[in-house]
C-alpha cells in the first residue's frame, strides 16, 4: 500500500464516520421524521457514482469507503421510506 492510498483511506474514514452518529440515532429511535428524504436519495446516488468512479480507476480506497458509506446511507434511507 502506498502513501496515497493511506491518505485516501484516512479521508474516507473521517467522511464515512461523520454519518455514523445519525445512523445510530435513527436505528435506536426508529425515527427519521426530521431527515430529508431527498438528501438521502441524492447521497446514495452520489455514493453509487463514487463507487463507479473507483471501479473505473481501480482505486480500492474509493471503492471500499464508498461501499461502506452507501450501506450506512441506505440503512437510513430504508428507515425513512418504510
Q: What is the DSSP string of 48-77?
A: HHHHHHHHHHT-HHHHHHHHHHHHHHHHHH
Per-residue model confidence as pLDDT tens digits over 30-48: 899 999 999 999 999 999 9
Kindly indicate the confidence band of residue 82, based on its pLDDT and cuts at 50, 70 and 90. confident
Q: What is the mean pLDDT of residues 70-74?
A: 95
Length of the chain measured in residues: 82
* The predicted structure's pLDDT at residue 74: 95
Residue 4 pLDDT > 80: yes
Question: Over the stretch 7-37, which tens digit does the pLDDT of each residue have?
Answer: 988 988 898 899 899 999 999 998 999 999 9
Q: What domains lie within the chain, and their CATH numbers?
A: 3-81 (1.20.1280.290)
The answer to whether 59 and 7 are in contact (CB under 8 A) is: no
Contact 16, 69 (CB under 8 A): yes
Specify the pLDDT at position 37.
94
Closest CA to 50 of 73, 34, 27, 32: 73
Per the listing, cell 474516507 goes with: 12
Amino acid at each position: 500500500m502506498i502513501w496515497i492510498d493511506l491518505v485516501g483511506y484516512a479521508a474516507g474514514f473521517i467522511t464515512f464516520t461523520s454519518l455514523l452518529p445519525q445512523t445510530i440515532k435513527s436505528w435506536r429511535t426508529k425515527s427519521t421524521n426530521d431527515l430529508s428524504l431527498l438528501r438521502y436519495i441524492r447521497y446514495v446516488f452520489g455514493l453509487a457514482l463514487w463507487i463507479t468512479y473507483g471501479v473505473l480507476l481501480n482505486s480500492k480506497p474509493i471503492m471500499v469507503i464508498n461501499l461502506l458509506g452507501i450501506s450506512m446511507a441506505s440503512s437510513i434511507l430504508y428507515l425513512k421510506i418504510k
